[in-house]
Amino acid sequence: MLTQVAEGVLIHQSELLQNNTVVVQGRAGVLLIDPGITGGEMACLANDLRQSGQPVVAGFSTHPDWDHVLWHAELGEAPRYGTARCAAFMRDVLSNADWKARAAEGLPPEIADETPLDLFGLITGLPAETARIPWDGPMIRIIEHPAHAQGHAALVIEERGVLVAGDMLSDVLVPMPDLDAANPIEDYLVGLRLLEGVADDVDVLIPGHGSVGRGDQVRARIEQDRAYVHALRDAQVPDDPRIGASAKPGWEWMSDVHEGQLQSLAQKGVR
């Protein structure tokens, strides 16, 4: 089911991981951002868009995590964009003869049989430093940063006052720095500063997972993420409602993610 969050901007949320697929209405059709995680959900979305007379004219993946680079044949053959680094990462993944088996191993067991991989990761990289998505619709600014993953991008739908944050600023996921990067903590803080730089331009925040934020919640979530990253850097116990006893039902595993990140950073000697 599509829910409108701003003029011409709608979301569809997956059941398992609360992934937010974003639909932006343009002149000839819609832009689809991070289109979902199961075949049934994507086919349902395609059907809803068909019935409303809005074909998919472009797609965009905010970053190269498995749950953001999926696609379904019923969504059509529109170009699927990402940053140049995102596309390069996916080319490397797909260059391995056993990529499909590796991708399948990483799927949550609850949906492993329901997630289509035939069109997995077929991203067209936009030229480096591209500032806006090339499509016939509202102007959408690309903010690339190294915080969560290679080629991660947030998007600002300027005319609608909407920030699509990718896997940041979530009320259910704690920040997850790219632990393979040379400076994962500083990279994440750089990403947060870039998002903070557009906070006054937006009224609606759509995270990759979890609930939509509005108004003062945009800056509040930036501050919450920054506090968590500082605690992670300093090996402190963060006062964060997304982990521990206060975590939302079904998201208790975030505590395991936190402990794993602490251990990985300690092994890397990052403090």
pLDDT exceeds 70 at position 133: yes
Least confident piece of the model among 166-175, 185-194, 262-271: 262-271
CA distance 198 to 164: 11
Domains with residue ranges and CATH for the chain: 3-268 (3.60.15.10)
Gyration radius from the chain CA atoms: 18
pLDDT exceeds 70 at position 271: no
Average pLDDT over residues 19-23: 98
Least confident piece of the model among 21-25, 97-101, 244-248: 244-248
Residue 168 · residue 191 · CB < 8 Å: yes
What is the per-residue pLDDT for 169? 98
pLDDT exceeds 70 at position 248: yes
What is the per-residue pLDDT for 1? 81
Average pLDDT over residues 118-142: 96
- The rounded mean pLDDT for the chain is 96
Structure-token pair, residue 161: 């006052």
What is the per-residue pLDDT for 234? 94
- Residue found by looking up tokens 């689809």 in the block: 32
CA distance 112 to 66: 12
What is the per-residue pLDDT for 123? 97
Average pLDDT over residues 222-248: 94
- DSSP, residue by residue, the chain: --EEEETTEEEEE-TTT-BEEEEEE-SSSEEEES--SSHHHHHHHHHHHHHTT--EEEEE-SS-SGGGS---GGG-S--EEE-HHHHHHHHHHHTSTTHHHHHHHTS-TTTGGG---TTTT--EEPPTT--B--SSSS-EEEEE-SSSSTT-EEEEEGGGTEEE-SSSS-SSSPP---TTSSSHHHHHHHHHHHHHTTGGG-SEEE-SBS--EETTHHHHHHHHHHHHHHHHHTT-----TTSGGGSPTT-TTHHHHHHHHHHHHHHHT--
CA distance 110 to 240: 27
Average pLDDT over residues 33-58: 95
Query: In the Cβ-directed half-sphere of 185, how many Cα atoms lie within 13 Å?
Result: 18
Average pLDDT over residues 213-234: 97
pLDDT exceeds 70 at position 270: no
Average pLDDT over residues 251-264: 95
What is the per-residue pLDDT for 32? 98
- DSSP, residue by residue, 70-86: ---GGG-S--EEE-HHH
What is the per-residue pLDDT for 268? 79
What is the per-residue pLDDT for 242? 97
* Residue 108 CB neighbours (<10 A): 13
Amino acid identity, position 219: R
- What share of the chain has pLDDT > 90, as a percent? 95
What is the per-residue pLDDT for 237? 85
pLDDT exceeds 80 at position 269: no
Average pLDDT over residues 106-116: 95
Average pLDDT over residues 163-188: 97
